[in-house]
């Protein structure tokens, strides 16, 4: 079944933030769109709001005046549900309440024609359960847009137990025709994005709770080493802690309190204290006028280093060597097991063991562990950690070497897998479990995370690039260090390593 053609009549129920955005997307794609809300006048107001938004785009030269008026002419506010009788697709974006949504769809079945597709924009409710009491549950699917709908490219096409696969294809093709990037997913808690993204917040929150570093340092590491657009604290301040915490709690409960999704007491305290983020003027950071953003912590060294030696292959961190050479540092090559020596210091990419543990187990004095960077050739900052009792001169030499490569250096307490490596390993682990459980394909999971939350790379492709054996040992070591189920590696990750295959093979 191909995309609905532009003469197909679309209705959107709920003229709030999401409904208005979805109506705008459909109208801009050329469909006649009816907008309905149970608050009298709300649909008409939403259309006025869309018109104002489009007006700004016209003023900025991003949209023609003709496109604006044509879009607005296709939008019609209606006040009675009976007006939706001859629609081809009805998208619901009302309050997030199972019983209210069920009642609405039951009512719609009595009004609309047999061929009308029913869709819900729910982000946390089960499509199977919304559809369960319908006469024709096969025609109900999830069509999950991201906020703001006109801007965000991702749309999750969610199939419940009864959903008709042909209709899932039709909605997929339709979303594509609307300029979106659709992905297919089964109706499981959090679908793709709200599930796989949980560790991004959870691991930074845990590092903060353990005093590994402060918020600005962890945020800077996620941006300047991890390649993410924002760190977890600035992002949750933007999303709103009430919203982000509620999603975490809902996913945690839906997976029967699997500790992988355990909510954070630090975030709960912010919610309890009304520190909801930007919207309340205070979250992890202060947003009052004139409030200053604290700086990321950085250590520096005045030592001079002109030569270092690589023993073996630094693995994914190999890009560091080119940077050092470009800056005139002589890099000697020797056989060995992936170490970088400078003066009395020895540097290595973290494998998930704490520095104290690895130094003892591998007999390495003055060990400095390096965190993961998205691209070592381009990163601006890197996290390091070391065991207590490191020779201060060796630390100076190690930091000086990283500075020679043009990196800012942030020191974390001796935490397993530091910040970026731990986050990426856990994102990949969650993505692997979603893949194992048939929630979505590897391609759709990765696309979901790139288009839905702007990750620089899909977690599965990222893990492939780092090397699945490295991700697996990182998780095994994290699990051993904490003694917690939370870090257990996915069966699929272990299987792929044993098979010598990548996720995208």
**Whether residue 123 lies in the annotated active site:** yes
- Binding to ligand NAI (CB under 6 A) within 25-44 occurs at 37-39, 42
Among 11, 12, 13, 91, binds ligand NAI (CB under 6 A): 13
156 tagged catalytic: yes
State the number of binding residues for ligand NAI (CB under 6 A). Answer: 22
Q: By CB under 6 A, what part of segment 142-171 binds ligand NAI?
A: 145, 147
Q: Which is nearer to ligand NAI, 19 or 182 (CB)?
A: 19
The span from the CA of 15 to the CA of 169, in Å, is: 26
Catalytic option among 156, 203, 224, 430: 156
Among 15-23, 206-214, 260-268, 490-498, the segment contacting ligand NAI (CB under 6 A): 15-23
What is the DSSP secondary-structure string of 129-147? HHHTTSSSGGGEEEEEE-S
CB of 449 to ligand NAI, least distance (A): 16
Q: 4, 84, 93, 418: which one contacts ligand NAI (CB under 6 A)?
A: 93
The nearest distance, CB 280 to ligand NAI, in angstroms, is: 17
Long-range contacts of range 59-63, CB-CB < 8 Å, 24 or more positions apart? none
Nearest to residue 206, comparing CAs of 218, 196, 195, 194?
A: 218
Min separation Cβ 24 and ligand NAI, Å: 13
Which residues are registered as beta bridge partners of 286? 282
DSSP states along 10-47: EEEE--SHHHHHHHHHHHHTT--EEEE-SSTTHHHHHH
Contact 109, 128 (CB under 8 A): no
Is residue 14 at the binding interface for ligand NAI, with CB under 6 A as the rule? yes
Out of 194, 204, 264, 350, the active site residue is 194
Q: Does 95 bind ligand NAI (CB under 6 A)?
A: yes
- Tokens 């003055």 belong to which residue? 366
**Which segment (26-34, 87-95, 361-369, 388-396) binds ligand NAI by CB under 6 A?**
87-95
Q: Which position among 120, 126, 144, 430 bears the catalytic label?
A: 144
Q: Does 23 engage in binding with ligand NAI (CB under 6 A)?
A: no
What are the helix and strand counts (H, E) for the chain? 20, 15
Between 126 and 403, whose beta carbon lies closer to ligand NAI? 126
Least distance CB 91 / ligand NAI (angstroms): 10
Sheet strands (E) in 303-358: 307-311, 330-334, 339-342, 345-349
Query: Sheet harboring 330-334: ordered strands across?
Result: 330-334, 307-311, 339-342, 345-349, 367-370, 381-386, 408-411
Residue 103 neighbours by CB under 8 Å, 6+ apart: none
Residue 16 or residue 467: which is nearer to ligand NAI going by CB? 16
Indicate the SS3 state at residue 310.
strand
Q: Is 79 a catalytic residue?
A: no
What are the percentages of helix, strand and coil residues in the chain, rounded to 5?
A: 45, 15, 40
104 part of the interface to ligand NAI, by CB under 6 A:
yes
Burial of 191 (0-12, 13-18, 19+ CB in 10 A): buried
Q: Which of 122, 187, 244, 267 binds ligand NAI (CB under 6 A)?
A: 122
For the bound state, the minimum distance from the C-beta of residue 473 to ligand NAI, rounded and expressed in Å, comes to 37
CB of 246 to ligand NAI, least distance (A): 10
> Which are the catalytic amino acids?
123, 144, 156, 194
Residues that bind ligand NAI (CB under 6 A): 13-19, 37-39, 42, 93-96, 100, 104, 121-123, 145, 147
């Amino acid at each position: 079944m191909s995309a609905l053609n532009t003469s197909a009549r679309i209705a959107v129920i709920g003229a709030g933030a999401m409904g208005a955005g979805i109506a705008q997307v459909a109208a801009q794609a050329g469909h006649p769109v009816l907008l309905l809300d149970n608050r009298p006048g709300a649909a008409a107001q939403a259309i006025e709001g869309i018109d104002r938004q489009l007006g700004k785009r016209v003023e900025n030269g991003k949209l023609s005046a003709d496109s604006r008026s044509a879009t607005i002419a296709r939008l019609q506010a209606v006040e009675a549900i009976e007006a939706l009788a001859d629609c081809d697709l009805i998208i619901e974006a009302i309050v997030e309440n199972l019983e209210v949504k069920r009642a609405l769809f039951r009512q719609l079945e009595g009004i609309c024609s047999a061929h009308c597709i029913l869709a819900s924009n729910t982000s946390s409710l089960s499509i199977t359960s919304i559809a369960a009491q319908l006469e024709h549950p096969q025609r109900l699917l999830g069509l999950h847009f991201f906020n703001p709908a006109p801007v965000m490219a991702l749309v999750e096409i969610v199939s419940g137990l009864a959903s008709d696969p042909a209709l899932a294809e039709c909605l997929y093709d339709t979303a594509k025709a609307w300029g979106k990037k659709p992905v297919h997913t089964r109706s499981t808690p959090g679908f793709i994005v709200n599930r796989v993204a949980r560790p991004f917040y959870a691991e930074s929150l845990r590092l903060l709770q353990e005093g590994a570093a402060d918020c600005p340092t962890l945020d800077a590491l996620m941006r300047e080493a991890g390649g993410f657009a924002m760190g977890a604290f600035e992002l949750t301040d933007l999303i709103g802690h009430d919203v982000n915490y509620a999603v975490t709690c809902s996913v945690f409960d839906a997976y029967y309190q699997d500790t992988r999704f355990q909510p954070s007491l630090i975030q709960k305290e912010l919610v309890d204290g009304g520190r909801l983020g930007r919207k309340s003027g205070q979250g992890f950071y202060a947003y009052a006028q004139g409030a200053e953003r604290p700086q990321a912590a950085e250590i520096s060294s005045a030592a001079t280093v002109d030569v270092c030696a690589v023993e073996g292959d630094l693995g994914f961190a190999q890009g560091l060597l080119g940077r050092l050479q470009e800056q005139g540092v002589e890099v000697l090559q020797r056989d060995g097991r992936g170490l970088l020596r400078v003066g009395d210091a020895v540097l290595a990419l973290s494998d998930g063991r704490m520095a104290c543990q690895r130094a003892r187990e591998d007999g390495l004095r003055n060990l400095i562990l390096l965190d993961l960077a998205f691209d070592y050739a381009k990163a601006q900052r890197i996290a390091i950690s070391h065991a207590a009792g490191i020779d201060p001169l060796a630390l100076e030499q190690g930091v000086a070497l990283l500075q020679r490569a043009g990196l800012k250096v942030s020191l974390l307490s001796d935490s397993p897998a530091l910040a970026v490596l731990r986050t990426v390993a856990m994102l990949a682990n969650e993505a692997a479990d979603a893949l194992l459980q048939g929630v979505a394909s590897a391609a759709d999971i990765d696309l979901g995370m790139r288009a839905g939350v702007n990750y620089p790379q899909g977690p599965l492709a990222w893990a492939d690039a780092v090397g699945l054996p490295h991700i697996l040992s990182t998780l095994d070591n994290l699990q051993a260090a904490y003694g917690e189920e939370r870090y257990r590696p996915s069966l699929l990750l272990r299987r792929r390593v044993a098979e010598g295959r990548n996720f995208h093979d």
